[in-house]
Structure 1
Amino acid sequence: MYSKREVIAAMLEQNSGIEIGLYTLGDIGPDPHTGSTISAGQRLKEIIEAAKLADESGLDIFGVGEHHRLDYAISTPPVVLAAIAQNTKRIKLTSATTVLSTIDPVRLFEDFATLDLLSDGRAEIIAGRGAFVESFPLFGYSTDDYDALFSENIELFLKLNENERMSSWNGHFRSPLKDAEIAPRPLQKQLPIWVGVGGSPESAARAGRLGVGMAVAILSGDPARFKPLVDLYRQTGIEAGHASENLKVGVTGHGYIAKTTKQAKDEFYPYYSNYWSYVNLQRGMTSLMSRAEFEQLTEADTALFVGSPEQIIEKILRQHELFGHQRFMAQIDIGGIPFKKIAEGIELLATEVAPIVRRETRK
C-alpha cells in the first residue's frame, strides 16, 4: 500500500512530455456581439466548470490569476482553487499569478498548504510582482517598494516552505518571526513555486538564483526574443549551485483553437480586439486593434496561439525547440468569449493538441 506522498512522487517522475494546461485571469468583459456582460458570480461558476472539463479531458494544470478590480472576478486565488479542488480529481492547481509583493508570505503559505491538503497534493504557486498595481494602495504598500517587497517576501516564503518552525527571522516590511510554528504543512514535501517573468532579465536571473521555476509570459511577436532570458535563467541557476533538472521553464500565452485556422481567426478577432480595448483603457490608453494588426499577430512565426490544432502544435513545438520548456499554459477565455466556445477549445487542446505535443516532446 503506497502513501499519498509516494503516489505523488511517482506521478512527478513519469516522463510524459511537457505539461499542458490552462490559466485564466477571470476578466469580465462585454460580449462584443451582444453587448451583454455576465456577473462575477457566473464568471466564477464558468471558471470552475472549465477546470472540471480540463481535468476530465486529461490536461495537466489549471491556474487562476489575481486582480483587485471590479472588471475581474478573481481576487483570492486560493479560495477559487479550493472550490476547483472539490470538483476535480487529478489536475494540478496553481495561482497565475499571486502578487507576492502585497501579501503576507506566512498567510500565503498557510492558504496554499491548506489547498494542498484539500486537493491531495496538487497545489502550486506562480508568484509575480504584478502587472497592475491596485493592490499596493489597497493593502497599504507603496509602489516605491515594488521590487524590495517582492525580494523579501519570496525569500521568506522559501524559508517557510522548508521549515515548519521559524526560530528567528527579521525583515523590513513585516513583523519578526521568533519560534513561530508554520501550520499546516502541505501534503507535498514542499509547495512548488514558480516566478512569473514578463521580459525582465533581472527577474529571470533572480528566479535562477533562487532555484525556483520560471513561467514566461509570451503574448506576441517572435518568441525567439525570449531565448536569452531562458538561457540567463538556467545559467544563473547552475552557477548558484542548483541542479539543471530542477530549473524548470513554463511558457504562458493567449490562445484560441478551432477546426481550421481561418475559423479560429474569424471567431477570435472580435473578442481579442475587445479584450485589448478594455485592458488598454484600464491603463489610460484608447486604441482599437485592426484586423490587419490581428493578422500580423497570428502569423505562423509569432507567439499568439490562434489557429487549427495543427497550427497550435507547430507553434508549441517550435517554442520547445527554442526553450526546452517543461510546461505550456494557454489563456483561452478572454474578451467576453461565451463559455460554449471555451469548452470547445478545451476539448480541442486536450484531444487533438496535447497527445501529439506530449509524444513529440517525450522524444
Structure 2
Amino acid sequence: MAFEIGIMTFGEITEDPVTGAVPSPRQRARETIEQAEVADQAGLDVFGVGEHHRGDFVGSAPSILLAAAAERTENIRLTSSVTVLGSEDPVRVWEQFATIDLLSAGRAEIIAGRGSYTESFPLFGYDLRDYGDLFREKLDLLLKIREQNPLTWQGRFRPALVDADIAPRADGETIPIWVGVGGSPASAISTGRLGLPMALALLLGPLTFHEQTVDLYRQSAAEAGHDPHALPISINVHGYVGRTSRQARDVMYPYFAKGMAENNHQRGKGLLIPRAAFDAQASPRAGLLVGSPQEIIDKLLTYHELYGVTRAIIQMGFGGMPQKEHLEAIERLGTEVAPVVRREIASRERSAA
C-alpha cells in the first residue's frame, strides 16, 4: 500500500498577529483553491477541507470548495476533513461528494466524524444529547447509500426511505469513506468493527498518544473478520515545513498560537500556548510536524513505524498564516519531503516482504 501525504485546511479568518490584517472571506476562499492547486502541482496525494459553521472560518460548505478545487487540479484526491455527519443529511452528503467524484474523475473521498466543534447541531436543529446516536445512525445510512441503489431504509432521526433513487453514483466503483477518530476507544473499536479506514487526529501530545487507539482498532477489525493490516490508517496533525528547524518554528508559532487562542473556543475558551510549550511539541517525540524537510521526513517515518499509518495529512497555516509562507511550505512538503518518505517506506516494505 503506497504511502500518501497531503494537506488540509479549515480556512480560518484570523487577525494576523504580525500585521494586524484580517483576511476577507472571499480572500480565504480563493486562497483555499490556490492551496489545492499548488499541492497538486507539487505532487501531493490528498487535499482536505474541514467543516465549521462560524464566522471565523470560511469552510461551512467544504463540498463546494472541493468542487472548485476539482476544476483546478488533475491528480490529487479531494476529501472532507471532516464531514460532521451527525448534523448532516447522509443523502445530501452522498449527492455532493458523488458530484465532486464526477467533476474530478473519481478523486472524491469522505472523512466522516462526530465533530469536536458542535455549533452545527443547534444550527440545524439537532439535540446534542443525541450526539453519539446521530453519528452511528447516519454513518449506517451513508454506508448503505454507497452500497445499494435504490435503497429502502428506516431510522430514528430522519424520514424513512422507500425504494429511493439516490444519484448520482460514484464515477468509479466507489467513494472511500474514512472515519475520523480523535482518541475515543469506543470510536476506534466501532470503526475497526465496520472495517473502515481510520483517520486519527492528533492536536497536541506525545507521538505515542494513539498507541492504544490503533491497537483497539486493529483488534476489533480482526475480531469482526477484517484483515487489520489491509485497513488504511491516516495521521492528521498540525505542522509546517520550513527551510530550517528554527525558521519553521519561528514562522508557525505566532499563527498557531493565535489560532489556538481564537479559533479553538468550541468548548468556551481558547488554549494559550507559550513558546516553550510549542517548541516542546515540535520535538522528535511529540506530535507536531514542524521543522526542516529532514525533520519532517524523520517524524513521518517514525509515525509509520509506530502506527503503521499509510497516510499523513498536515494542517499547515492554522491561525491565518499568510499565503506566501503557506504555499512555500506546501511546495517543500511535495518536492522535498514526500518523495523521500515514499521511497524509504517502499524500500522498507520490500525488505520485509
- TM exceeds 0.5? yes
Once the two structures are TM-superposed, the CA of residue 99 in structure 1 deviates from its matched residue by 0.3
- The residue type equivalent to 2:322 in the other structure is P
Once the two structures are TM-superposed, the CA of residue 183 in structure 1 deviates from its matched residue by 1.0
1:50 & 1:296 partners in 2: Cα distance? 28
Number of residue pairs matched? 347
Once the two structures are TM-superposed, the CA of residue 123 in structure 1 deviates from its matched residue by 0.3
Alignment of 1:1-363 (within 5 A): 17-166=2-151, 168-285=152-269, 288-363=272-347
2:230 & 2:305 partners in 1: Cα distance? 19
Once the two structures are TM-superposed, the CA of residue 125 in structure 1 deviates from its matched residue by 0.2
Once the two structures are TM-superposed, the CA of residue 243 in structure 1 deviates from its matched residue by 2.9
- The residue type equivalent to 2:30 in the other structure is K
**Percent identical:** 51
- The residue type equivalent to 1:133 in the other structure is T
CA contact (8 A) 1:169 1:176 kept: yes
Q: CA RMSD in A?
A: 1.2
1:287 & 1:56 partners in 2: Cα distance? 35
Provide Cα deviations, 1:230-263, integer angstroms capped at 9, x if missing partner.
1211111121122335411000000011111011
- The residue type equivalent to 2:335 in the other structure is T
CA contact (8 A) 2:56 2:263 kept: no
Q: Which residue of 2 aligns with 1:10?
A: none
1:56 & 1:138 partners in 2: Cα distance? 37
- Give me the TM-score of the superposition, normalised by structure 2: 0.96
- Give me the TM-score of the superposition, normalised by structure 1: 0.93
Q: Which residue of 1 aligns with 2:350?
A: none
1:341 & 1:201 partners in 2: Cα distance? 37
**Residue segments in structure 1 that go unaligned for 5+ positions in a row:** 1-14
Once the two structures are TM-superposed, the CA of residue 64 in structure 1 deviates from its matched residue by 0.3
Tell me, what secondary structure is at the counterpart of 1:20? strand
1:113 & 1:249 partners in 2: Cα distance? 23
Once the two structures are TM-superposed, the CA of residue 221 in structure 1 deviates from its matched residue by 1.9
- The residue type equivalent to 2:80 in the other structure is S
1:354 & 1:138 partners in 2: Cα distance? 39
CA contact (8 A) 2:206 2:281 kept: no
CA contact (8 A) 2:118 2:266 kept: no
2:124 & 2:312 partners in 1: Cα distance? 32
CA contact (8 A) 1:94 1:124 kept: yes
Would the alpha carbon gap of residues 293 and 244 (structure 1) be closer, same or farther in structure 2, given more than 3 Å must change?
Answer: closer
Tell me, what secondary structure is at the counterpart of 1:224? coil
1:182 & 1:281 partners in 2: Cα distance? 37
Tell me, what secondary structure is at the counterpart of 1:130? coil
1:280 & 1:179 partners in 2: Cα distance? 42
Tell me, what secondary structure is at the counterpart of 1:63? strand
Would the alpha carbon gap of residues 303 and 286 (structure 1) be closer, same or farther in structure 2, given more than 3 Å must change?
Answer: closer
Would the alpha carbon gap of residues 286 and 174 (structure 1) be closer, same or farther in structure 2, given more than 3 Å must change?
Answer: closer
1:117 & 1:129 partners in 2: Cα distance? 26
CA contact (8 A) 2:145 2:166 kept: yes
- The residue type equivalent to 2:185 in the other structure is P
Provide Cα deviations, 1:303-336, integer angstroms capped at 9, x if missing partner.
1011100111111111111111110000101112
Once the two structures are TM-superposed, the CA of residue 18 in structure 1 deviates from its matched residue by 0.7
Once the two structures are TM-superposed, the CA of residue 286 in structure 1 deviates from its matched residue by 5.5
Q: Where does structure 1 differ by over 6 angstroms across 4 or more consecutive aligned residues?
A: none
1:286 & 1:101 partners in 2: Cα distance? 24
Provide Cα deviations, 1:139-164, integer angstroms capped at 9, x if missing partner.
11000000000000001111110101
CA contact (8 A) 1:211 1:246 kept: no
Would the alpha carbon gap of residues 82 and 286 (structure 1) be closer, same or farther in structure 2, given more than 3 Å must change?
Answer: closer
- The residue type equivalent to 1:49 in the other structure is E
